[in-house]
Structure 1
Amino acid sequence: MGYGSNGGEEETKKNGREAAATAPPPRSSSLYRYNSPLVQVCLIGLVCFCCPGMFNALSGMGGGGQVDHEAANNANTALYTTFAVFGVLGGGIYNLLGPRLTLVSGCSTYVLYAASFLYYNHYHHQLFAIVAGAVLGVGAGLLWAGQGAIMTSYPPADRKGTYISLFWCIFNMGGVIGGLIPFVLNYNRAEAASVNDGTYIAFMCFMALGALLSLAVLPPSKVVRDDGTRATNVTYSDVSAESIEILRLFANWKMLLMVPAAWASNFFYSYQFNNVNGLLFNLRTKGLNNVFYWGAQMAGSMGIGYFLDYSFRSRRKRGLAGIALVAAVSTGIWAGGLANQLRYRDGKWADELDFKNSGSRFAGPFVLYFSYGLLDAIFQSLCYWVIGALADDSQTLSRYSGFYKGVQSAGAAVAWQVDTHKTPLLTQLIINWVLTTVSYPLLIVLVVLAVKDEDATTQDTESKLPPTDATNNASAKEI
C-alpha cells in the first residue's frame, strides 16, 4: 500500500507539473510595473531623449551651432560612416552583450561629441570634432540597434504602433527641450553667429544622464507583458553565429526591400537643418524652430502610431493604408518645399528671418520646417512598424533594426558630403523627394508578402541560429 501511495503521489506531481507547463501564464496586475513593456519602452525613450534627442537639437541648429558648417559636415560624415558599419554590426553586438552594456557603451560617446564643439568654439580645429564624430558613429550604432530591438520586440504584437509612437514622443521631447536650450541661452544674441559655451555644456549634462539611465534597462527575458508572457526568452549568441546572421541580412529579400526607405530616412537632414533652418533664420529663431520641428515629430508619431494599430482589423490593411497616408502627406510637404526653394535657387537668402521682427515673412518657411519634422516622424515610425511586423523575437529584430540603421547612416554620410560639396539646393531637394517616393511601392510589396494578418507575429524562420554550446549554456547569463 505504501508503494502504491508513493506511486500515486509521483503521478499527481507529474500531472501537476504538466498542467503548470501547459496552463496560460498569469496576467500581470499593472501596466506600470518596472518589468512591463510600457515602462521599459518609456525608459529607452528617456535614454534617447537625453542622448540622440540632444544630438538632434544640436544638429538642428545647422552646422552644430557654428556659423561655418564645414566642421559639422565633416564630423557628421565621419559619424555616419562609422555608424553605417556599426549600425549593421550593432544587432549582433546587442545579442552578445545584452541591452545594458550595449546601451551604456553607445550613450557615453555622445558626451564626447558635444565636448568637441565646445572645444571648436574656442580653437576652431576640426580634427577633434571629426574624431569625436567617428567615435559617436560607433556608439550610435550600438545604441540604436539596442533601441530598435527593445522598441519592436518588447511590446505585444497588436500594439507595436502605439509603443513606437510613445517612444518617438519621449525621444523627440529631447529635441524640444534641446531646442529651448539654445533659444533661451542665446535669446539676447540675435546678431550672434555661433552658440555660447553654456549651450554645449547643457547638452553634455543631459547626455551624461542618458548614459546613467541606460543601466536601468532590463534584458528581454525579464520583461513580462500584461498577459503574463515574456518579451522573449533570449539566449545570448556567440561571435561566429552572429557574424553569419549579419552576413545573411545582405541576401535577405525583406531587408533588401527596406534599403531605399532606410537610405532616405536620414538623407534629408543635411538639407533641412543646414539649408532651411540654418540658412533662412537667425540664431535664436533656429532654436525656436527646433522646438516646433521636434514637437511636430511627437504629434506625427502619435497620429501614425494610432492609425497603424487601430485603423483596420487586418494588420496588412493597416500597413498598406499607412503607406498610402504617408506617401500622400510626403508628396504635399515636398511640393511645399519646392515652392519655397524656388525663392532662393542660388542658395542665398538676403535677410535672416526672426520670429519677432520678420512679420508675415516668417510664417511660410516656419510652417514648412515644422512640416519637415512631421514628415520625418511619420516616415520613420512607418518603417519601424514594418520592421516590427516582420518578426517578434529580440534577436532577429535587433539585427533587422541594426541593418536599417546601418543603411540609414550610409545614406546620411553621403548626404552630408553632398552638402559640403555645395550641390545646388534645388538638386538636393529633388533627390530627397525622389528617394522617399521610390521607397513607398517597395514597402507595399514588403507588407503584402511578409506581414501576416493575424495578431500573433510569427517567428522569422529565415534567421534561426544554429545550436552551439554558447547558445545552449548562455540562458543563465544576465547582463
Structure 2
Amino acid sequence: MGKFVDTVPQFRYRSPFWQNFISGLTTAFTAGIYVALNLLGAGGGQPNSAQVSTRLNACLNSIWVLSSALGSVVLHTIGPGITACLGVGGYIIYVGGLWYLSETGKAAFPYFSAVCIGISAGLVFVTNGYIMLSYPEEKEKGLYVTTGFGLLAGGEMIGGIIPLLISRNNDSSGGVPNAVYIAFIVIMGLTAIAALFILPPNKIKRDDGSGVAAVKYRGLLVELKSNLMDLCDKRLLIMIPCFLPAEAYLVYLGSVNAFHNNLRTRCLLSFMSVVLQIPFSIILQKIFDHNGYKRRTRAKLGLAYVSIPLTAAWIWEMVRVRNYDRHSPPTPMDWTDDGFAAIFVLFMINWIASTLWQYVVMYFLGTLTNDPIKSSHYTGGFRACLAAGESVLFGLDSLKIPYIKEAGIIFAFYLAGICIYMYMAFFVVEETKYFQEENVVVPIHILGETGNVDAVDGIEIKESTTPEKMDVGVDTKTV
C-alpha cells in the first residue's frame, strides 16, 4: 500500500506550500467572512433590507463572472501580490456597504460596494486558484487544495464565532450587531497587508532547489488571447455543469437559514458547519494524495466520497421544504426547540458535501495542467461559471420561488456534474502532465539520477544541460 502525503513542509517563506498558505489567508478573511455574512443575513435591520441584500448579491455575482474570466490577465500583468491586495480592498468596501444598509436602509452606497466586491472576488480567487493548482507537485495536489479550502473554512469559522459570541444570549431574529462589522473590517485590513507578501512563481523554490515555473510577462494582448483560447478548451467546456452549482448552496442555505431560524441558531449552524467541514476535507485529501492508487482511482474514490452524501442530502432537503410557504414565514426556530436536531444534521451534511464539491472541482482541474498560466485561466473559467450560477440563484431567490424548486434546480446540476466527473475519471484523467507543457519546471527528484522517470511509465527524458527544466518528450505510449 502507498503512503498518504500528510506532512506539512518546513516553513520557508519562498516555498510553494507556504505561498499557497499566504494566498489561502486572503480567501479565508475575505470570501470566508462573506460566506458568514450571507449565512447570518447581514445588511438586515431595515424593512427593505432582505430584498436589497439579495439584489446586491445578484449584482456582485454578475460582475464576478467577468472579473473571474479576465482576472488572470490582471494577475500576469501586475503580479499575484498586488492583484490579491486589490481584491481584498473590494471586500472591505462591501462589508462597509452592508453595515451602511443595516443602519440607514439606503441602497446607493451598497450597490457601489457590490460592484467593488464583484471585481475584487475575481482577483482574489484567480490568484488563489492558480497558486493552488500550479505550485504543487502532482502528488501534492490534494494537499494544496485542502490547505487552501481549509483556510477558507477557518475564515468562515472566525466569521461565525465572532457573531455567535456576541449574539449567544440574543434569541431575536434581528440583524447583525455593529461590532461584527467593525471586527470584520479590521481583519480584512490586516489581510490586505498580508497579500503583498505573495510572490510570483519565478521567485519560488521547492525544497529540492528546483523552481516552480518559468513564467515571463508576454504583453497584455498576448495574455488576453491566451486566456480566451484556454477558456475554449473542450475539457473545460464539458465541466461547465459541474461549475455552475459550486456555490449555489450558499444562496439556498443562507436563505432557508434566515427564513426558518432565529439569529443565534443561524450563528450556531453557520459556525458548526465549517468546523465539521475541516476533518471531512482532510479525509478527502488523504484519498486524493494516496500514492498507492493510480490517479484515476483516486479521482473515482474522491468523487464517490463526496457525491453519495451530496445526493442524499439534497433529496432529504427537497423532502423537508416541500411544504414551506415563503410568503408565510414560521416562528423562527431556536436551538432549544423540538425538531432542531434533524435540522442540524441535515444542514451539516448538506453544507459539508456541497463545500467538498469545490475540492473535487479543483482536483479535476489540477489533473488537466501543471502550467501556471493555464491554471490561472482554468481557475478563472471555473470561478466565472460559479459566479454565474450563484448570480442566477440569487435572482431566483429574490423572486421567492418555492424552496423545493430552488433545491431541485441545484440538485439537477449536481447530478449532471457527477455524471461528467465519472466520465472524466474513467476516460480523461491522465497519470501525469509533466513533460507535456511549457513553463513547467520539473522537480529535480522526479528526474532521478539516470535521467529517467521511475515513477511514471511511458515517459523518457531527452538530453539536457539544465536539471531543473529538462528538454523532455513524451513517449507515444499512454501515460
TM (normalized to structure 1)? 0.86
Matched, 1:97 2:81: no
Amino acid at match of 1:409: A
Amino acid at match of 2:395: Q
Aligned to 1:240: 221
Amino acid at match of 1:160: K
Structure having the higher Rg: 1
Change over 3 Å in CA distance of 1:283–1:30 after alignment to 2: closer
Amino acid at match of 1:260: P
In 2, the alpha carbon distance for the partners of 1:85 and 1:107 equals: 17
Report matched runs for 1:102-251 at 5 Å. 102-251=83-232
Which of residues 327, 331, 343 in structure 2 aligns to 1:351? 331
Aligned to 2:417: 439
Aligned to 1:274: 255
Matched, 1:403 2:367: no
Which of residues 264, 268, 287 in structure 2 aligns to 1:307? 287
In 2, the alpha carbon distance for the partners of 1:123 and 1:200 equals: 15
Change over 3 Å in CA distance of 1:461–1:255 after alignment to 2: farther
Aligned to 1:476: none
Once the two structures are superposed, residues 226-262 of structure 1 have per-residue CA deviations (whole angstroms, 9 ceiling, x without a partner) of: 3322111211231111221222234210110121111
Matched, 1:371 2:349: yes
Q: Is 2:247–2:386's contact at 8 Å kept on the other side of the alignment?
A: yes
Aligned to 1:45: 24
In 2, the alpha carbon distance for the partners of 1:98 and 1:187 equals: 43
Amino acid at match of 1:342: R
Aligned to 1:26: none
In 1, the alpha carbon distance for the partners of 2:100 and 2:304 equals: 46
Q: Is 1:316–1:453's contact at 8 Å kept on the other side of the alignment?
A: yes
Once the two structures are superposed, residues 203-224 of structure 1 have per-residue CA deviations (whole angstroms, 9 ceiling, x without a partner) of: 1111111111101112111222
Once the two structures are superposed, residues 339-368 of structure 1 have per-residue CA deviations (whole angstroms, 9 ceiling, x without a partner) of: 32135255644221212x31x421111111
Once the two structures are superposed, residues 284-306 of structure 1 have per-residue CA deviations (whole angstroms, 9 ceiling, x without a partner) of: 12112111122233233222121
Which of residues 59, 62, 67 in structure 1 aligns to 2:41? 62
Once the two structures are superposed, residues 374-400 of structure 1 have per-residue CA deviations (whole angstroms, 9 ceiling, x without a partner) of: 112210001001111111121110111
Matched, 1:340 2:320: yes
Q: Is 1:327–1:440's contact at 8 Å kept on the other side of the alignment?
A: yes
The number of residue pairs the alignment matches comes to: 431
Change over 3 Å in CA distance of 1:99–1:182 after alignment to 2: same
RMSD of aligned Cα (Å): 2.1
Matched, 1:419 2:419: no
The structure in which a higher percent of residues are helix is 1
Aligned to 2:454: none
TM (normalized to structure 2)? 0.86
Matched, 1:86 2:67: yes
Aligned to 2:461: none
Aligned to 1:24: none
In 1, the alpha carbon distance for the partners of 2:186 and 2:410 equals: 34
1:424 offset after TM fit, Å? 1.1
Change over 3 Å in CA distance of 1:222–1:389 after alignment to 2: same
Q: Is 1:103–1:142's contact at 8 Å kept on the other side of the alignment?
A: yes
Q: Secondary structure at the match of 1:194?
A: coil
Q: Which runs of 5+ in 2 are unaligned?
A: 1-7, 441-479
Q: Is 2:215–2:439's contact at 8 Å kept on the other side of the alignment?
A: no
Q: Is 1:392–1:457's contact at 8 Å kept on the other side of the alignment?
A: yes
Q: Secondary structure at the match of 1:31?
A: coil
Q: Is 2:41–2:176's contact at 8 Å kept on the other side of the alignment?
A: no
1:31 offset after TM fit, Å? 2.3
Q: Is 1:63–1:278's contact at 8 Å kept on the other side of the alignment?
A: no
Aligned to 1:71: 52
1:129 offset after TM fit, Å? 1.3
1:196 offset after TM fit, Å? 1.5
Q: Is 2:85–2:196's contact at 8 Å kept on the other side of the alignment?
A: yes
Q: Which runs of 5+ in 1 are unaligned?
A: 1-28, 464-479
In 2, the alpha carbon distance for the partners of 1:52 and 1:112 equals: 13
Matched, 1:317 2:297: yes
1:95 offset after TM fit, Å? 1.5
Q: Is 1:165–1:301's contact at 8 Å kept on the other side of the alignment?
A: yes
Change over 3 Å in CA distance of 1:369–1:101 after alignment to 2: same
Q: Secondary structure at the match of 1:342?
A: coil
Q: Is 1:220–1:234's contact at 8 Å kept on the other side of the alignment?
A: yes
Change over 3 Å in CA distance of 1:457–1:445 after alignment to 2: farther
In 1, the alpha carbon distance for the partners of 2:370 and 2:78 equals: 20
Change over 3 Å in CA distance of 1:458–1:140 after alignment to 2: farther
